Structure 1
Amino acid sequence: MSTADGAVAPQLQRYAALDQRLLAAVRGIRILPTVAWPASLEDRMIADYAGGRFALPQVSYARPDLSAARAELAAIEAAAGGGDPADSDPLGDYLRRTAESWRIAAGMLESVGSAGVTAPSIVLYGRPDDTIPGSQRSNLDAARYFVELSDELGADLLADDSSVNMPADVLRSDLAATLDEFFGAGTISVEVDPELTAKAAAGATRIRLRGGASFSAYDRHQLLAHEAFVHSLTALNGRRQPLLASLARTSPRVTATQEGLAVFAELMSGAIDIARLKRISLRILAIDMALNGADFVEVYKYFSACGQNAADSFHSAQRVFRGVPLGGGAAFAKDNVYLSGLLTVHTFFRWALRQRRMDLLRHLFAGKLTLHDVVALQPHFDSGAILPPRWLPPWMQHVHGLAGKLAFSVFVNGIHMSKVQAGDLSLDV
């Protein structure tokens, strides 16, 4: 527990000290910047590809030496213990798991530019053919389903307002005003970054938008729900934690829960559309293609054939091949977590409702936590050693509405659509 003035209780000092060691050890481990491509290369290659001039991009990486960090993380793992839940504090297990994931990530980055990135990225982010918890179907099956459904509905969705475009500078001003009102003036800045590969990225106190990109009304809603009210919000709540300062930082092991929670937030707040689900799903299918031998050009053409423009197709393919050779048989698996994370988080929310444990759902926003952490660390939430979240997303603040949505979801999940015929749905008497 923490004392009244926020200091860490003596019996927990050992874990707090290990947590500080962990943060110091991982300071130089920067996953996405290490595997990023320069914007100048992307701009040139997009122009070539748009003109039908296809060649594999020539990408070079600066391979870091993280041997000292790996050694320190291994020492932290050993000191934390936590291998046997029966005789250890869950704080030790949290620290051990977190240090291990950073150590795996460090080894992955030391292999940047080679096929050696693939295996550790799969350990951290999973494979497309992994089975979805509570189901016999895979992430790949889910991806195919959403792509097929989107294609079937496409003609009926052409009148949707998602094509309304907004320049990055205009969106920056709009988001800044909204975030100042929610978090307090100046808590989170919004910037336009011409070097950003993703369309947007969020930290605790800064959200970046890719310069030159145009954003739709759906994009704005998604950025608020996904980036601001999950990624930034959990980082800010994590910064308030007196015991585990690492709860403010996204360790590799929490990526799936963080991204799944962020996409789930889009779903619960009405910010997600079927085109977004298709984009997420196409990336999983593309990872599977790359692992099975497709090269960068083939994956680009796949995205293009699925309706993406030249720039979006290039950026989507680039995400699959970050840090790995472009000739096929290798992939960076991070984009696997968006759909698998969404499905797992959705299941967790329904499970928590069934168990009458809404407190677990609120605690999920107290920092950068996995679903396992929220359950395992509950004694420390109860004691006050880990603080409840200062901020909750707008959709989580209306507990009765959330419970209503989840209760409906739990019940209708028992209706098997394969057994429903159109005639069964007639309301005539």
Structure 2
Amino acid sequence: MSTPVEAIPAGLEPYAVLDKRLLAAVRGINILATVSWPASLEDRMIEEYGKGQYALPEVSYKTPDLSEVRKELAAIESEAGNDDPLGDYLRRTAESWRIAAEMLEAVGTEGVTAPSIQLYGKPGDAIPGSDRSNLDAARYFVELSDELGADLHDDDITANISSEVLRADLAKVLDDFFGTGKIAVEIDNDLTAKAAAGATRIRLRGGTRFSQYDRHQLLNHEAYVHSLTALNGREQPLLASLARTSPRVTATQEGLAVFAELMSGAIDIARLKRISLRILAIDMALNGADFVEVYRFFNRCGQSVGDSFHSAQRVFRGVPLTGGAAFAKDNVYLSGLLDVHTFFRWALKERRLDLLRYLFAGKLTLHDVMSLEPHFISGVLAAPRWLPPWMQHVHGLAGKLAFSLFINRIRMSKVEAESLSIGV
């Protein structure tokens, strides 16, 4: 969205100019497209792995030249300064894109690992407010899922919805929610994930069958978070970059999307297990496991041949397959969920539900929401036009969070089965 110069409050024009320069500089950076594998290679290797032929895939990448982009981003960092939260936001955002550019210029080498960890964190990182790590949390959810899994299979989860039927269904729901034509729903036969979302388009993988559970998850994760925050970002009068996911906001955005699944009942323990297994796999790769070893790990944990291959591929995107390197992006799903959940509980405790609404005003981090609060209050930054359905019912949200806030005080280590026998 383009904003007339006269509409920008006096004194803030330099930030608007820097924001436009930032968007122009990063226009050609596409992280996942640069590190992705050809669909034809994946199909062929999955067929071979299904026969027990476990050769390391041979993957080649096209290395981009982003030297001029890095220079411009470094200049924006310098000029943005940190005297105002707007400048601090621009400086941090430009820095994250510059690190991403450095990462992509190292594609195909172990040089991808360090910047990817800088952007997305690593499994051993501590959880804020806890003496546990992201790796500890991943192990916990995997163990819990394995203990409960035999009793939690849902016979009603049947993948009987074609991509064509789901496309038409989602298109109607989204037209009703956002307005006709705001978001197009398309089928993409080359998509490796089941679905992907942008500001104005959601793609579904062609030839795939979906369940009602998939539909619920797609709406709450992809549409009501990823697309919604992008559309709200496009409504911003000053910072157009709030419509684009920069590397530094990935953890909050993915964490918020998984949190949305949790709040809307669109997540189950099996989903938490899949997210957690990826973190364990990143840790394995960083500690020397090669692609085949990581593939076998997923397969032993109950994933199909195809799912195990795709899961291992996510860990090794853009890096050598021989071990000791990893693409760390999948670390953010669990760490981001834990951070967002903690933030929501903190905001409720402090009675700051206004901050929770600001979180949907664009592609923001938790830090941004806090630091930019004065500019939301003044109207320089616009409050979100759209909120997810589960955020529109504040009393229901507060009830869920208030219950979890209190229930977490109960120490399970001190609970005995006999003490739960009521009325005997």
**CA–CA distance in 2 between the matches of 1:388 and 1:277?**
31
RMSD in angstroms over aligned alpha carbons?
1.4
Match runs of 1:147-158 below 5 Å? 147-158=142-153
Q: Identify the residue that residue 369 of structure 1 maps to in structure 2.
A: 364
Q: Identify the residue that residue 45 of structure 1 maps to in structure 2.
A: 45
TM-score, normalization by structure 2: 0.98
Q: Using a 3 Å threshold, how does the CA distance of structure 1 residues 424 and 380 change in structure 2: closer, same or farther? A: same
2:303 to 287, 303, 308: 308
TM-score, normalization by structure 1: 0.96
- Tell me the amino acid that sits aligned with residue 50 of structure 1: G
Maintained 8 Å contact 2:5/2:13: no
1:138 to 117, 127, 133: 133
* Structure 1 unaligned blocks of 5 or more: 83-87
Shift of 1:159: 3.7
- Tell me the amino acid that sits aligned with residue 161 of structure 1: D
- Tell me the amino acid that sits aligned with residue 23 of structure 1: L
Aligned-pair identity (%): 78
Shift of 1:270: 0.4
CA offsets per residue over residues 78-129 of structure 1, 9 Å max, x none? 00011xxxxx111011000000000000000000000000000000000001
216-225 vs 376-385, which moves further: 216-225
The answer to whether 1:398 aligns with 2:393 is yes
Q: Using a 3 Å threshold, how does the CA distance of structure 1 residues 4 and 103 change in structure 2: closer, same or farther? A: closer
Maintained 8 Å contact 1:143/1:284: yes
**CA–CA distance in 2 between the matches of 1:165 and 1:301?**
29
**CA–CA distance in 2 between the matches of 1:172 and 1:275?**
25
Q: Identify the residue that residue 205 of structure 1 maps to in structure 2.
A: 200
207-216 vs 258-267, which moves further: 207-216
Maintained 8 Å contact 1:263/1:338: yes
Maintained 8 Å contact 1:166/1:214: yes
**CA–CA distance in 1 between the matches of 2:132 and 2:282?**
18
Q: Identify the residue that residue 379 of structure 1 maps to in structure 2.
A: 374
**CA–CA distance in 2 between the matches of 1:258 and 1:171?**
24
**CA–CA distance in 2 between the matches of 1:371 and 1:227?**
19
CA offsets per residue over residues 281-329 of structure 1, 9 Å max, x none? 1100110111111111111111111111111111111100000001111
- Tell me the amino acid that sits aligned with residue 89 of structure 2: Y
Shift of 1:6: 8.4
193-202 vs 223-232, which moves further: 193-202
1:112 to 103, 107, 114: 107
Q: Using a 3 Å threshold, how does the CA distance of structure 1 residues 159 and 90 change in structure 2: closer, same or farther? A: closer
**CA–CA distance in 2 between the matches of 1:196 and 1:270?**
26
Shift of 1:423: 1.1
The answer to whether 1:67 aligns with 2:62 is no
**CA–CA distance in 2 between the matches of 1:157 and 1:327?**
37
Shift of 1:4: 12
Match runs of 1:326-365 below 5 Å? 326-365=321-360
The answer to whether 1:9 aligns with 2:12 is no
Shift of 1:385: 0.3
Shift of 1:188: 0.5
**CA–CA distance in 1 between the matches of 2:209 and 2:159?**
9
**CA–CA distance in 2 between the matches of 1:346 and 1:335?**
18
The answer to whether 1:320 aligns with 2:288 is no
CA offsets per residue over residues 12-39 of structure 1, 9 Å max, x none? 1111110011001111111000001111
- Tell me the amino acid that sits aligned with residue 110 of structure 1: E
**CA–CA distance in 2 between the matches of 1:77 and 1:16?**
14
- SS of the residue corresponding to residue 278 of structure 1 reads helix
CA offsets per residue over residues 23-80 of structure 1, 9 Å max, x none? 0111111100000111111111111111111111111000000000000000000000
Match runs of 1:185-200 below 5 Å? 185-200=180-195
**CA–CA distance in 2 between the matches of 1:71 and 1:5?**
26
**CA–CA distance in 1 between the matches of 2:264 and 2:252?**
18
Maintained 8 Å contact 1:36/1:197: no
- SS of the residue corresponding to residue 10 of structure 1 reads coil
Shift of 1:176: 1.1
Q: Using a 3 Å threshold, how does the CA distance of structure 1 residues 6 and 313 change in structure 2: closer, same or farther? A: farther
Shift of 1:164: 3.3
- SS of the residue corresponding to residue 369 of structure 1 reads coil
Q: Identify the residue that residue 30 of structure 1 maps to in structure 2.
A: 30
**CA–CA distance in 1 between the matches of 2:312 and 2:154?**
28
Shift of 1:5: 11
Q: Identify the residue that residue 209 of structure 2 maps to in structure 1.
A: 214
CA offsets per residue over residues 246-293 of structure 1, 9 Å max, x none? 000000000000000000000000000111111101100110111111
The answer to whether 1:229 aligns with 2:235 is no
2:265 to 270, 281, 291: 270
CA offsets per residue over residues 320-349 of structure 1, 9 Å max, x none? 000000111100000000000000000000
Q: Identify the residue that residue 87 of structure 2 maps to in structure 1.
A: 92
47-56 vs 233-242, which moves further: 47-56
- SS of the residue corresponding to residue 185 of structure 2 reads strand
Aligned residues: 422
Shift of 1:203: 0.3
**CA–CA distance in 2 between the matches of 1:53 and 1:117?**
28
190-199 vs 55-64, which moves further: 190-199
Q: Identify the residue that residue 174 of structure 2 maps to in structure 1.
A: 179
Shift of 1:163: 3.4
**CA–CA distance in 2 between the matches of 1:302 and 1:380?**
48
Q: Using a 3 Å threshold, how does the CA distance of structure 1 residues 279 and 240 change in structure 2: closer, same or farther? A: same
CA offsets per residue over residues 336-372 of structure 1, 9 Å max, x none? 0000000000000000001110000000000000000
Match runs of 1:290-301 below 5 Å? 290-301=285-296
5-14 vs 234-243, which moves further: 5-14
**CA–CA distance in 1 between the matches of 2:316 and 2:6?**
45
**CA–CA distance in 1 between the matches of 2:160 and 2:256?**
26
- Tell me the amino acid that sits aligned with residue 279 of structure 1: R
CA offsets per residue over residues 102-158 of structure 1, 9 Å max, x none? 000000000000000000000000000101111111111111111111111111122
Large movers: runs of 4+ above 3 Å: 3-6
**CA–CA distance in 2 between the matches of 1:346 and 1:40?**
39
**CA–CA distance in 2 between the matches of 1:299 and 1:60?**
20
